[in-house]
Amino acid sequence: MLERTAPPPPATLAARVDAVIDGALAARRIVGAVVLVRKDGETIHARAGGFADREAGTPMREEAQFRLASVSKLFVAAATMALVAQGALDLDRPITAWLPDFAPRFDGKPVAITLRHLLTHTAGLGYAFLEPEDGPLHRAGVSDGMDRPGITLAENLRRLAGVPLLFQPGTRFSYSLGLDVVGALIEAATGLALPQAVRGLVTGPLGLDDTGFSITDPARLAAAYADDCPRPRRMREPDLVPFLPGLPGIRMDPSRAFDPTAFPSAGAGMIGSAEDTMNLLETLRQGGGPLMPSGPAAEMARDQIAGLDIEGSPGWGYGLGFSVLRDAAAAGVTETPGTWRWGGAYGHSWFVDPAKRLTLVAFTNTALEGMSNGGRFSADLSRAIYAAIGP
């Protein structure tokens, strides 16, 4: 008589997450990654895999630093809401109260743009990488914040203000340079340069010493790679990375991280570690202290664009600095409604599921595979985590 054996236990979260990381590395979809998972405020998995610099044979380490691209928006949005809590900025007052010269027009007429419009990408602004090569932002020489245009933040915003708005503010969602304008608002409200303001408002109070607008330790900065076949290629300096069919791509220059003259792009210009980003996300998830009261932190995570859709992202709304999940089935994701999510073009993704008290930070050095909606990696990690923790 055959002896019955118990079925094998389900794979642990660590095993499932590591399988996703190892599979992406083996398939040569990513070069290296740092993945951190916390639940109830405790680290339940941390893993560094692959190479920080493939050509040099340098292994990826958990303390690696990365070019953050749009993960920068999280830090700047937090700094902004700290100032709102202090009364130095107002979400719904026209921004000309602080930036009188930033007054782009719609249909030839002046319009009121608010800080809320900027943080939710409903101001009518755009990004150059989302328009054709002969588009108005390209013609005006506007930088998206990841190249080295050799101009100041003030000059970039002067050029941006001269481009007509895409729509009446508040009527549509269009991912945009709005956070770069917010960076100038922060400077105007504090009297400080943006790097010093973000340090004083966010990274300093939380002890996040590995994140800012300049590189702190060049030896820890991961090299940058771009999707290619049969394996990712090392990025050129500068580079044009394909993003959407029919559009020229994203202008990126990894050497910007070493350029002290590069203007501080609030939407794309920071450098930092996965651990620092995790600590900021957990601070906001747990109510925002010591950066801000719980009210402004909760406002960041509220869907601000009810009635508006994000083209190409069904099921998602938008808060103050990141997307907010409305409908998991429509979005085709495993997270709980109310989850916050965003990432960065250099190959990063993160999410916070407040209902499950769960936070993921996944930084890679591979654009665009590691980015939220950039490739399989982010979605595979999410499915693996939820398969392990259950409903």
pLDDT band per the 50, 70, 90 thresholds, residue 372: confident
Q: What is the pLDDT of residue 222?
A: 98
Q: Is the pLDDT of residue 9 over 60?
A: no
* Consecutive H or E run containing 376: helix 376-389
Beta strands 323-325 and 65-67, pairing class: unpaired
Q: Is the pLDDT of residue 241 over 60?
A: yes
Q: What is the pLDDT of residues 243-271, one digit of tens each?
A: 999 999 999 999 999 999 999 999 999 99
Q: Is the pLDDT of residue 368 over 90?
A: yes
Mean of pLDDT values over 339-344: 98
Q: Is the pLDDT of residue 3 over 50?
A: no
Q: What is the pLDDT of residue 11?
A: 73
Q: Is the pLDDT of residue 5 over 60?
A: no
Q: Is the pLDDT of residue 2 over 50?
A: no
Q: What is the pLDDT of residue 390?
A: 83
Q: What is the pLDDT of residues 269-326, one digit of tens each?
A: 999 999 999 999 999 999 999 999 999 999 999 999 999 999 999 999 999 999 999 9
Mean pLDDT across the chain, nearest whole number? 96
Q: What is the pLDDT of residue 10?
A: 55
Q: What is the pLDDT of residues 73-84, one digit of tens each?
A: 999 999 999 999
Q: What is the pLDDT of residues 88-102, one digit of tens each?
A: 999 999 999 999 999
Beta strands 366-367 and 225-226, pairing class: parallel
Q: What is the pLDDT of residue 391?
A: 73
How many CB atoms are closer than 10 A to CB 41?
A: 10
What is the pTM assigned to this prediction?
Answer: 0.96
Q: Are 321 and 300 in contact (CB under 8 A)?
A: yes
Instruction: Identify whether 70 is a catalytic site residue.
Output: yes
Backbone φ and ψ of 111, nearest 5°: -135, 160
Q: Is the pLDDT of residue 127 over 90?
A: yes
Strand locations in the chain, DSSP E? Answer: 32-39, 42-53, 58-59, 65-67, 105-106, 109-110, 225-226, 233-234, 239-241, 250-252, 271-273, 316-318, 323-325, 340-344, 348-353, 358-364, 366-367
Q: Of 70, 323, 349, 382, which one is the catalytic site residue?
A: 70
Beta strands 316-318 and 323-325, pairing class: antiparallel
The CA–CA distances, whole Å, from 156 to 41, 81, 247, 364, 387 equal 40, 24, 22, 29, 45
Mean of pLDDT values over 23-50: 97
Q: What is the pLDDT of residue 374?
A: 81
Q: Is the pLDDT of residue 223 over 60?
A: yes
Q: What is the pLDDT of residue 137?
A: 98
Closest CA to 361 of 372, 373, 350, 353: 350
Q: Is the pLDDT of residue 7 over 50?
A: no
Q: What is the pLDDT of residue 373?
A: 82
